[in-house]
Structures are given as structure tokens and as C-alpha cells.
Amino acid sequence: MIGRNSPCWCHSGLKYKNCHEVFDQRIEEFRRRGYKVPGHELIKTPEQIKGCKEAAEINMACLDYVGEHIGAGISTQDIDDWVSRITKEMGGIPATLGYEGFPKSVCTSINSQVCHGIPSEEDILEDGDIINVDCTTIFNGYYADSSRMFMIGDVSPEARKLVEDVHEAVNVGLRAIKPWKTLGDMGAAVNEFCMSKGYSVVREIGGHGVGIDFHEEPWVSYVTKPDTEMVMAPGLMFTVEPMVNMGKADIFIDAENDWTVYTDDDSLSAQWEVQIVVTEDGYEPISW
């Protein structure tokens, strides 16, 4: 039991009574009411948030470069080479490279690929393709994680609408992030919006905590009910990244590489990812 006049557990240098005492009391109140609450290890300190922002500078520089140079005739291996070079030049480490055996520095998922697409010299982007580029950077031990969709050349109206609608779905989710509400509130808002557009949201894969490690608690679903899942306490950091299919929600994993996820009905899929931290009055974007 920490004393009220002891240094706060968050290493702010303040006494506990002047820092996180009221926070902990509120967390305990939610716990008694049966809610899932974050432990101290999931609440990011100002120093940790600063470190994640520095990693995000590299992460977003990679995605900015991809946006400026991607186009028909580019291979997904070209994208991997760009990300690897920029990350290393800026002093970072590509988090995906070697992660649980993943062989590349970035994920590139085209058309019916939902996520975890592996860059290859054989995968050449063509006019009409849509592609998600998912980038994660480690810098000084801190993680930044975000992804963007890119439309190649003259895409179909349906594909363009999917990409734009999923971007708006993320914005819907962001607007639902309010301190002391639940992740279920946010996920339900995203799912309701996507369903209203005639899409389906992938159930098995979602967002996640991030910052000190690549994947932390909580797991973030976008097919939830309001007032369920973990309480979004100030300092909780996670990704908002619904994976949305034009067809059904069913997916399968490539049997050969055991990584790439596809829509089961070969329909298009889109995803944008934003890393945020919950604040006292909403959220702060970290990487996008």
C-alpha cells in the first residue's frame, strides 16, 4: 500500500496524494463494479509518451515517403526497402522484422488481403489496386504503430468508397474515445457505422495496447457492445484499427506463409490504424 506522502508510482516526482491517488480510487471503484480496468503498467507516463512520439516521427516519415512514391509498377518489396532504409537512417528499428518470424520490415496488404501481407518482388502494384501499408518502429525502446491505405491509379468507385468510409470509421472511433468510458463504447460506434455502410468488421483481429512493447493489453475489438471491455483511463495507449470487409467478415490465413490474412469471399478489405493515448478530456494522437 503506497503512502499518501510517498513518491507516486508514475515517477512524476510528485507525492502520491498530489498525483495518482484520486486516479487509483476511481480505478478501484470501477473494479468493484465489475469492470475490466488497466493496471499501473498500462498507464503511460509523460516520459513514455514522449518516447512513443519520437518513435512516431520515424514511423510517419516512412508512411509519408510511401505516399509520395507509391504507384503502379512499384513492387511491395520496393516499399519494404523504403521503410527499412528510412527507419535505419533515422536511428530506428523496424519492429516487424523478425517478430515471431515475420520476414520483412513492413506489412503490405493488397485488395482482398486483410492484413499481414508479406512484401515481395513478385507483387507489383497495378492500376486499380488498394493497399494497406502497416508500419511499426522501435526507437530508444519505445514503439510507434500506424497504417495507411493507398489507392493506385484509377480505382473503382466501390473501392474508393470503401477506403474513404473506413477512414471515417476510424474517426468515428476516435470521437468515441472519452476518459472513463469503455473500449466497448468505441468498438460499438465503429461497428454501427460500418454496418450502416453495408460492410462487415473482422472479428478475430483488432487493435491492441502498444508503447513499451509491440503488443500489450488491452486487445481492442470493433464488434463490441457499449459499456463492456476495459475502461479507457487517462494514460492508456492503444491502436484504433478496424479491419473492414466489403463482403462478409469471414477470413482465412495463407497456409503457405502462415501470416497473410485474406477475406474468405475474396471481397476487398481496408484498414487505417492510428495510435493514441487517452487524456483527461479525450485522446491525443501519437502515430497516424
Matching residue, cell 480496468: 37
Mean pLDDT of the chain: 97
pLDDT at 71: 98
pLDDT at 13: 84
Residues with Cβ within 8 Å of 210's Cβ and at least 6 positions away in sequence, in order, are: 52, 143, 144, 145, 216, 237, 238, 239, 275
Contact 275, 145 (CB under 8 A): yes
Q: Rg (Cα) of the chain, in Å, rounded?
A: 20
Specify the pTM: 0.94
Q: What gap in Å lies between CA 3 and CA 16, rounded to an integer?
A: 7
What is the rounded average pLDDT of the residues 65-85?
98
**In a 10 Å sphere around its CB, with 0-12 CB exposed, 13-18 middle and 19+ buried, how is residue 140 labelled?**
exposed
Does position 177 have pLDDT exceeding 80, yes or no?
Answer: yes
**In the chain, what are the domains?**
40-287 (3.90.230.10)
Q: What gap in Å lies between CA 271 and CA 31, rounded to an integer?
A: 33
What is the rounded average pLDDT of the residues 222-250?
98
Report residue 72 as a C-alpha cell: 503502379
Residues with Cβ within 8 Å of 219's Cβ and at least 6 positions away in sequence, in order, are: 206, 207, 208
Backbone angles phi, psi at 286, to 5 degrees: -110, -50
Confidence of residue 12 (pLDDT cuts 50, 70, 90): confident
Does position 2 have pLDDT exceeding 90, yes or no?
Answer: no
Q: Is 106 left (phi over 0), alpha (psi -120 to 50) or beta?
A: beta
Matching residue, cell 462478409: 248
Q: What is the pLDDT of residues 46-64, one digit of tens each?
A: 999 999 999 999 999 999 9
Confidence of residue 274 (pLDDT cuts 50, 70, 90): very high
Backbone angles phi, psi at 212, to 5 degrees: -95, -25
Does position 256 have pLDDT exceeding 90, yes or no?
Answer: yes
Q: What gap in Å lies between CA 288 and CA 275, rounded to an integer?
A: 6
Confidence of residue 208 (pLDDT cuts 50, 70, 90): very high
Q: What is the pLDDT of residues 114-150, one digit of tens each?
A: 999 999 999 999 999 999 999 999 999 999 999 999 9
Q: What gap in Å lies between CA 260 and CA 262, rounded to an integer?
A: 7
Confidence of residue 230 (pLDDT cuts 50, 70, 90): very high
- SS3 state at 16: helix
Does position 161 have pLDDT exceeding 90, yes or no?
Answer: yes
Does position 1 have pLDDT exceeding 80, yes or no?
Answer: no
Confidence of residue 183 (pLDDT cuts 50, 70, 90): very high
Confidence of residue 202 (pLDDT cuts 50, 70, 90): very high
Contact 164, 150 (CB under 8 A): no
What size, in residues, is the chain?
288
